[in-house]
Amino acid sequence: MVSKGNNFAYVTLMTRSSYLAGVVILAYTLKRAGSKYPLVVYYTDSVPASSITALTNEASYSNLILKRTTALLPRSSVKVNLIAERFGDTWTKLRVFDLIEYDKVCYLDADMTIRNNMDPIFDIELPGPDWLAANHACVCNLDKDAWAPDDWTKENCAYTAVSHPEALTHPTPVTKESRGTYHLLNSGMFLFEPSQKLWDDMMGFFNTCSTLGDMKFPDQDFLAEFFHHKWISVGWQYNALKTMRYWHENIWRDNEVVCLHYIVDKPWAKRVSEEGVAGYLGKDGVTHQWWWDDFSAWEKERLEKGQEETVKIVANHSARPLGHEGEENEELRAIGSQVQAFAENGSKS
């Protein structure tokens, strides 16, 4: 049992071994940036024993607390329509709302790294016990993805409406009068006050909601609906999507990023090329290299502490160095070159 005296905690979710490297570097950078609070790692039985061993070994160095959970899925009568196969796991993210041992909890996706101290997020006051603090979803859709609604345009994006430096402390507000796209949140990071009532209310809504099958980003769309008119926006720096570096130069500054979110393909799935090319469209060489720099620092520190086993396990779930790649394995392909693959029961059904 986690002690209530800790008061605050971060939490993340791991449902497959392909995210082991992400969880490890998230925990490492969180502590390195000076956080005082633990990172609770929820994991399911789909995570192999070797990955649990690596996380257990890492716990004493990165302030990790492991917490086993079970997968959360919609009732069998619901036919889902996902953007990508990997999103099928994300319903389980809702289980973090049962972490009632703490007064306030900040959820972080496993594909994030911390570049400045994240703890000030806990200073944010929520308007009520059943409210959420989060970042807007970026709806620019500059890649013209076919699945995106017609109103997903740069003009309708909440990040277009603000400028540096005010965007750090005065993000676009969410009001009842806000345009529809401003009510969409990104679920990579959110702050909440866990309670038994909030958890029971959420599961009641989950088990009766008639629109689950229409949610292309499962947990994200669910949270936007469940917390409709009950969430506040926070500065972009707490969930800085890597694409915002070139999509939103109006607000982005490298040195002001607190929490960097590696949406779409994951940096550990493939090394940055010698030409600095990385990412889904080759534009993310700089931010992906930041991840590999963090990985190299972590690897060096752990080897110095005699943690060869942990380093080997994590390396087995991340890309090999340039020149030693070999054939891309299926695990990394699913979060790298094939990250946008549709689920079998997606748009074709």
Phi-psi region of 323 (alpha: psi -120 to 50; beta: other; left: phi over 0): left
Residue 6: band (very low, low, confident or very high) from pLDDT cuts 50, 70, 90:
low
Q: Give the residue-averaged pLDDT of 73-84.
A: 61
Tell me which residue of 183, 179, 67 sits closest to 134, measured CA to CA: 183
pLDDT digit string (tens) for 35-68?
999 999 999 999 999 999 999 999 989 999 999 9
| Structural contact between residues 83 and 217, judged by C-beta atoms closer than 8 angstroms | yes
For residue 4, pLDDT beyond 50 = no
What are φ and ψ of residue 170, in 5° steps?
Answer: -130, 70
- Within 13 A of 15's CA, how many CA atoms are on the CB side? 15
For residue 3, pLDDT beyond 70 = no
CA distance 224 to 38: 27
Please work out, in degrees rounded to the nearest 5, the angle formed at the alpha carbon of residue 335 by the alpha carbons of 340 and 306: 170
Tell me which residue of 263, 313, 312 sits closest to 291, measured CA to CA: 263
For residue 345, pLDDT beyond 50 = no
Residue 73: band (very low, low, confident or very high) from pLDDT cuts 50, 70, 90:
confident
| Structural contact between residues 98 and 67, judged by C-beta atoms closer than 8 angstroms | no
The alpha carbon dihedral of 144, 147, 150, 155 has a sign of negative
Q: Which amino acid is at 262?
A: Y
Task: Identify the DSSP state of 37.
Answer: S
CA distance 284 to 243: 8
- The H-or-E segment that residue 13 falls in is strand 8-14
- Percent of residues, the chain, with pLDDT higher than 90: 76
- Residue identified by tokens 């990250």 is 339
* Res 147: pLDDT: 82
Q: Residue 30 burial by CB count (10 A; 0-12/13-18/19+): exposed, middle or buried?
A: buried
- The H-or-E segment that residue 57 falls in is helix 49-62
Q: Within a 10 A sphere around the Cβ of 203, how many other Cβ atoms?
A: 15
E-state strands within 179-312 = 185-192, 231-233, 240-241, 259-261
CA distance to 8, 9, 30, 64, per residue, from 37 (Å): 6, 5, 9, 10
Residue 119: band (very low, low, confident or very high) from pLDDT cuts 50, 70, 90:
very high
Q: Which residue has the higher pLDDT, 335 or 1?
A: 335
Q: Give the residue-averaged pLDDT of 285-295.
A: 98
pLDDT digit string (tens) for 210-261?
777 677 777 888 999 999 999 999 999 999 999 999 999 999 999 999 999 9
Q: Does domain 4-333 have CATH number 3.90.550.10?
A: yes
The alpha carbon dihedral of 197, 212, 265, 156 has a sign of negative
Residue 343: band (very low, low, confident or very high) from pLDDT cuts 50, 70, 90:
very low
* Res 83: pLDDT: 47
| Structural contact between residues 200 and 218, judged by C-beta atoms closer than 8 angstroms | no
Q: Within a 10 A sphere around the Cβ of 339, how many other Cβ atoms?
A: 17
- Whole-model pTM over 0.75: yes
What are φ and ψ of residue 266, in 5° steps?
Answer: -95, 140
Q: Give the residue-averaged pLDDT of 318-341.
A: 72
CA distance 298 to 301: 5
CA distance to 82, 284, 285, 317, 334, per residue, from 250 (Å): 31, 18, 20, 36, 32
CA distance 27 to 62: 6
* Res 252: pLDDT: 98
CA distance 1 to 58: 19
